[in-house]
């Protein structure tokens, strides 16, 4: 029998529309228990309607706003709808999925509130492709939540406000260019050019013409005037990558330009004045080069007004899961495939590898894995050999490896993890705790504030280390 509602529309039609739309839709009663769950919601969350209905919505969605900023709760308590709120949920595979949600109140024919409705759509592909296609250097492109990367990121907005020269040092593949781009983006010069020059890629003669430009007839082949990068970066930012690779002779020329703010293009007698913010980067130890006399001390101090150290991936190992998550989604979206899962053993191997090529190497490994592995789950066999190579076994190279350690290697039980950061080691934690308490004259409120923990945690630790 076909049932009709007040508007004389068959309920089957409602069902059909409800399950046909691309947006996930679910309704809840006033206790936040799910009363309806459409097919798109099943697909996005990975939980069938029959399992979801009757459960509290936070159990099914596991969103980052459920506990403290629930949009539906806000709508039900105020009666006001909300729209396009960016939320992260965890699907049935415990994969984070970015969604946009809109909420509204459900009322019966008498106008009495009977629950709420939430409509949401998966925006993971959009977010990934938007990030990939954008050539802007955004803060958001620097992925990481570790203390080491947070320390760098916290300095960027402050440094961006000044025009001081910045020197970014760090190993290859750590994201020096991203930081340079972020400084430019947050500076008052953001709408002016950001010009990048790789100093290592050009010999002195070419570097000079590239940076300062030349006039017609300056040399054979100079058939017309060409502005240099300094001129192109006027009022903007000039990023000199691999500054440690320039010759001592060119260092002198560069210093002169930086100090006087003016230069002459090759073959010209006319002086050009420019207003350029300089950011330099290198993977070499400039301080040591200065001591050895291979890098000019005066140039070093001229470019190193604000120094940045980019931590290697080994120094921020806790960011590896986040980076894997980010790159897998990014590469999968570009390849038009669903992000695969990783078996625990694969994740462990990825987590334990020492990454001499840093984030760039991690990204390349994942790209290779996604190209070669077509399955839904990435197994260790898809990983390149170096990730589980024999160098992880102590004594392997000098022939002193024990049978037990080789056997452990075969079973994947050999850990190559570096020690966790000092603050997480119980011994150092006890010392840090005692020092903080002494510095605060044993005032627990002050000590807790200094350590960035609550009084409860402080008290728990004091008891643990016998300081209470």
Partner 1 sequence: MKVAVPLFGSDVAPRFGEADRFLVAESYHGTVRSREVVEMDRIGDWMFRLSELEMLGVKVLLCCGFNRYYWPLAIERGIRVITGATGDAQTLVNAFVHGEKLPLLPCCASPEQIRYQCRIEHRREDVRMQLTSGFNKRKD
Q: What are phi and psi of 36, to 5 degrees?
A: -150, 150
Query: Would you count residue 416 as binding partner 1 (CB under 8 A)?
Result: no
Report the candidate in 431, 440, 421 with the shortest Cα–Cα distance to residue 465: 431
Query: Would you count residue 46 as binding partner 1 (CB under 8 A)?
Result: yes
Query: Would you count residue 61 as binding partner 1 (CB under 8 A)?
Result: yes
| Shortest Å distance, C-beta 437 to partner 1 | 17
Q: What are phi and psi of 266, to 5 degrees?
A: -60, 130
Query: Would you count residue 60 as binding partner 1 (CB under 8 A)?
Result: yes
Of the listed pieces 133-141, 188-196, 272-280, 417-425, which binds partner 1 according to CB under 8 A?
A: 417-425
In sequence order, what are the residues at sequence separation of 6 or more whose Cβ sits closer than 8 angstroms to the Cβ of residue 55? Answer: 33, 34
Residue 370 burial (10 A CB sphere; 0-12, 13-18, 19+): buried
Query: Would you count residue 58 as binding partner 1 (CB under 8 A)?
Result: yes
| Shortest Å distance, C-beta 154 to partner 1 | 15
Query: Would you count residue 456 as binding partner 1 (CB under 8 A)?
Result: yes
Query: Would you count residue 344 as binding partner 1 (CB under 8 A)?
Result: yes
Query: Would you count residue 420 as binding partner 1 (CB under 8 A)?
Result: yes
345 close to 412: Cβ distance less than 8 angstroms:
yes
Query: Would you count residue 463 as binding partner 1 (CB under 8 A)?
Result: no
Report the candidate in 135, 142, 131 with the shortest Cα–Cα distance to residue 333: 131
Query: Would you count residue 86 as binding partner 1 (CB under 8 A)?
Result: no
Calpha distance 324→365 (Å, rounded)? 10
Query: Would you count residue 67 as binding partner 1 (CB under 8 A)?
Result: yes
Query: Would you count residue 324 as binding partner 1 (CB under 8 A)?
Result: yes
Calpha distance 432→430 (Å, rounded)? 5
Structure letter (DSSP) for residue 419: P
Dihedral over Cα of 38, 43, 49, 53: its sign: negative
Query: CA 97 → CA 43, 92, 128, 325, distances in Å?
Result: 12, 10, 11, 11
Q: Which position among 12, 132, 298, 376 is part of the footprint of partner 1 (CB under 8 A)? A: 376
Q: Which position among 33, 74, 96, 368 is part of the footprint of partner 1 (CB under 8 A)? A: 96
Of the listed pieces 114-122, 170-178, 319-327, 403-411, which binds partner 1 according to CB under 8 A?
A: 319-327
The phi-psi region of residue 299 (left if phi > 0; otherwise alpha if psi is between -120 and 50; otherwise beta) is: alpha
| Shortest Å distance, C-beta 152 to partner 1 | 17
Please identify, using beta-carbon distances, which residue of 18 and 351 lies nearer to partner 1.
351
Residues that bind partner 1 (CB under 8 A): 42-43, 45-48, 51, 55-56, 58-64, 66-68, 90, 92-96, 145-146, 318, 321-322, 324-325, 341-344, 347-348, 351, 376-377, 415, 417, 420-421, 424, 426, 452-454, 456-457, 460-461, 464
């Amino acid at each position: 029998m076909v049932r009709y509602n007040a508007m004389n529309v068959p309920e089957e039609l409602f069902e059909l529309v409800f399950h046909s739309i691309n947006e996930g839709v679910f309704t809840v009663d006033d206790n936040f228990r799910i009363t309806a769950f459409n097919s798109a919601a099943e697909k996005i969350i990975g939980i069938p309607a029959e399992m979801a209905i009757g459960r509290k919505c936070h159990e099914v969605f596991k969103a980052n706003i459920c506990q403290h900023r629930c949009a539906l709760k806000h709508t039900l308590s105020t009666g006001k709808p909300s729209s396009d709120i960016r939320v992260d949920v965890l699907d049935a595979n415990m994969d984070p999925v970015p969604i946009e949600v809109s909420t509204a109140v459900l009322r019966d024919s008498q106008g009495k509130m009977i629950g709420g409705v939430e409509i949401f759509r998966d925006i993971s592909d959009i977010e990934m492709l938007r990030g990939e296609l954008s050539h802007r250097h955004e803060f958001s492109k620097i992925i990481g939540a570790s203390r080491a990367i947070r320390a760098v990121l916290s300095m960027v907005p402050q440094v961006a406000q000044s025009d001081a020269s910045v020197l970014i040092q760090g190993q290859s593949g750590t994201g020096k260019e991203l930081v340079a781009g972020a400084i430019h983006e947050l500076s008052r010069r953001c709408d002016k050019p950001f010009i990048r020059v790789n100093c290592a890629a050009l010999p002195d003669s070419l570097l000079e013409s590239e940076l300062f430009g030349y006039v017609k007839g300056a040399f054979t082949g100079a058939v017309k005037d060409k502005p240099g990068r300094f001129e192109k970066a006027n009022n903007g930012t000039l990023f000199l990558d691999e500054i440690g690779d320039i010759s001592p002779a060119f260092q002198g020329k560069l210093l002169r330009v930086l100090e006087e703010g003016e230069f002459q293009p090759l073959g010209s007698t006319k002086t050009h004045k420019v207003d350029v913010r300089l950011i330099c980067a290198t993977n070499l130890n400039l301080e040591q080069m200065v001591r050895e006399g291979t890098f000019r001390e005066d140039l070093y101090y001229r470019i190193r007004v604000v120094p940045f150290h980019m931590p290697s991936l080994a120094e921020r190992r806790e960011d590896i899961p986040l980076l894997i998550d980010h790159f897998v989604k990014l590469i999968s979206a570009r390849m038009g495939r669903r992000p695969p899962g990783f078996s625990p053993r694969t994740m462990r191997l990825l987590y334990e590898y020492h990454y001499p090529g840093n984030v760039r190497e991690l990204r390349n490994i994942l790209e290779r894995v996604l190209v070669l592995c077509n399955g839904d789950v990435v197994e260790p066999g898809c990983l390149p050999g170096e990730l589980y190579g024999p160098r992880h076994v102590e004594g392997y190279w000098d022939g002193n490896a024990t049978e037990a350690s080789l056997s452990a290697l075969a079973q994947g039980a050999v850990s190559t993890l570096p020690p966790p950061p000092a603050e997480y080691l119980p011994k150092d934690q006890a010392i840090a705790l005692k020092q903080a308490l002494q510095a605060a004259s044993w005032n627990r409120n002050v000590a807790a504030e200094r350590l960035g923990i609550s009084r409860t945690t402080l008290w728990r630790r004091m008891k643990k280390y016998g300081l209470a």
